[in-house]
Structure 1
Amino acid sequence: MTSNTALNTDTSHTSAPKIIALIPARSGSKRIPRKNIKPFCGKPIIAYPITTALESKLFSRVIVSTDSQHIADIAQSYGAEIPFLRPSSLSDDFTPTAAVAAHAAQELGLDSSSSDVLCVIYPTTPLLQASFLAQGLQALLDSSAAYSFGALEYSYNPYRSFVIDEGSPTMLFPEHYHKRSQDLPRIYHDAGQFYFGRVWAWHDELAIFAPHSRPIVLPHSLAHDIDTLEDWNLAELKFRAFMDSSSATLS
């Protein structure tokens, strides 16, 4: 699933920044119990992003932020560091990613005035590829952006969407009714995989989906947001198809 990707993180005007991966993996998932360590095609799902991050050679450290000692033990067995346990106050359903990243940056002593970078990688990303992480990091370092992140194009354009009210459809954007789908603006959404951010941006809890960010557009075959058991099953199908395709290419 991964490949070693060389990347020059030096800059012409500063010393090389620290590049650290942070995988947030709290306990207490309700829709999919034990979601972050649930077996996925033979391994705890969190093992995949840990392995990809380590094998990418992009990061000086790969850290898991969790409130669970059990999750910590599993993550550590796959090579992640657990330098602290996250407090329960930052481990509920409503805690934003930025707050978890800011807490980790503080625990790790990352200075918000530095050029250091913290990459948040979600734990349920078995399709994550090192090459896209490399693209994300390079996009950030080559610009003055606060963040870079993985994005997906909507498979069906939302400008053609409608609501159903009392059994009848009403278009949300009726002005686009007569337009061909290929003539509509392309619309994208968060892929739910990775978010490179400058430490100062995480400390300020700056919004990610804004002009100060750089999106990296991913193929649908290599990204799948997992919120429900149906999502989980579809992600396993994608993963197996990718592995079969990779094996066929190598043979």
Structure 2
Amino acid sequence: MHIAVIPARGGSKRIPRKNIRPFCGKPIIAYSIEAALKSGFFSSVVVSTDDAEIADVAKKYGADVPFMRPPALADDFTGTTPVVVHALNHYLEQGVQVDTVCCIYATTPFTTVSDLKLTYKALETAPASFTITTYDFPTHWALEQDSEGRMSMSQPQFIRVRSQDLPESYHGTGQIYWGTREFLLNGNDFQEGKAVGVQVPRHRVQDIDTEEDWVRAEAMYRALKETEQL
């Protein structure tokens, strides 16, 4: 059995009520719920929230809300993995045999069914997988600034290496994370070297943490829909 867990606490600070804010016509969390349901992978698509309004919106779009997240897991410092494990344990305590869990973030309207399929397939070779993309600029040329404003390279050994000769660098997209039951219950982190990265195109990746991010994401979403790339 596979379950999807969509973390969606109510106390977002930089964009208030972010998880249910209208995005191109519907609450942004609806996109994650609909992608999970459309994939057909999951016996349950769970929204983990501490907020009654978010719970109501989630149910409206077809998600399950079998519990309310406890306050200890809904503060500003709780990471994603404890939230996912809490949801997993809820089912295990009910005697439900869960084999794998897919965490889908609530503010990822660019997530597709294909992304879910590819990251699931990656579990054939690893106990966990997540989506990645390339950096816009080579990380090897990153700069640091001292207290007097002077700049220096973080990795000076690459100062004379051509960009085409640098190894590609990647970062997590913050969209999809799959893990087996054992991987999650053993306290593993997705970026400790056990998980496989599944690359998605850079134009479908957008952190949404500020108002500027939100405007950019909506513009990109509309453009991709108009050109049938999403």
Task: Note if 1:146 corresponds to 2:127.
Answer: yes
Distance, in Å, in 1 between the alignment partners of 2:193 and 2:114 is 24
Judge conservation of contact 1:149–1:196 (CA < 8 Å) in 2: yes
Name the TM-score, length of structure 1 as normaliser: 0.87
1:103 aligns with 86
Residues 1:119 and 2:102 aligned together: yes
Alignment of 1:63-212 (within 5 A): 63-109=46-92, 116-140=99-123, 142-143=124-125, 145-165=126-146, 166-212=148-194
1:61 paired to 2:44: yes
Amino acid paired to 1:147: A
| Aligned 1:210-221 pairs, distance under 5 A | 210-221=192-203
Instruction: Give the structure 1 partner of residue 25 of structure 2.
Output: 42
Give the CA RMSD over aligned residues. Answer: 1.8
Indicate conservation of the 8 Å contact 1:110/1:199, yes or no.
Answer: no
Deviates more, 1:203-212 or 1:68-77: 203-212
* Corresponding position: 1:237 with 2:219: yes
Counterpart of 2:184 in structure 1: which amino acid? W
2:92–2:98 Cα contact (<8 Å) kept: no
8 Å CA contact retained: 2:130, 2:176: yes
Q: Which runs of 4+ in 1 moved over 3 A?
A: none
**Partner-residue secondary structure (3-state), 1:134:** helix
Which SS does the other structure have where 1:190 is aligned? strand
C-alpha separation between the residues in 2 aligned to 1:182 and 1:160? 13
Q: Deviations over 1:153-211 (max 9, x none)?
A: 11101101111222321111111111111101111111000100111222222111122
SS in 2 for 1:120: strand
Measured in 1, the distance between the counterparts of 2:51 and 2:98 equals: 31
2:2 matched residue in structure 1: 19
Gaps of 5+ in 1: 1-17
CA contact (8 A) 2:21 2:28 kept: yes
Equivalent residues of 2:7, 2:106 under 8 A apart: yes
* Contact 1:110 1:116 (8 Å CA) reproduced: no
* Secondary structure of 1:23 counterpart: strand
CA distance in 2, matches of 1:53, 1:234: 24
Check the 8 A contact 2:31/2:109 in 1, yes or no.
Answer: yes
Partners of 1:242 and 1:129 in 2: how far apart? 12
Asked if 2 retains the 8 angstrom alpha-carbon contact of 1:151 and 1:190, the reply is: yes
Measured in 2, the distance between the counterparts of 1:155 and 1:138 equals 27
1:154, 1:36 → 2: CA distance?
Answer: 26
8 Å contact from structure 2 (residues 138, 169) kept in 1: yes
> How far apart are the structure 1 equivalents of 2:182 and 2:216?
37
Q: CA deviation at 1:72?
A: 0.3
Following TM superposition, by how much is the alpha carbon of 1:115 offset from its aligned partner in structure 2, in angstroms? 6.9
Aligned residues: 228
Q: 1:235 to 1:110 in 2, by over 3 A?
A: farther
Q: Select the residue among 12, 16, 41 that pairs with 1:29.
A: 12
SS of 1:241's partner is helix
Cα deviation for residue 217 of structure 1 reads 0.7
TM-score, with structure 2 as normaliser: 0.95
Cα distance, 1:109 vs. partner? 1.6
Q: How far has the Cα of 1:110 moved from its partner?
A: 6.8
- Aligned-pair CA distance for 1:96: 1.2
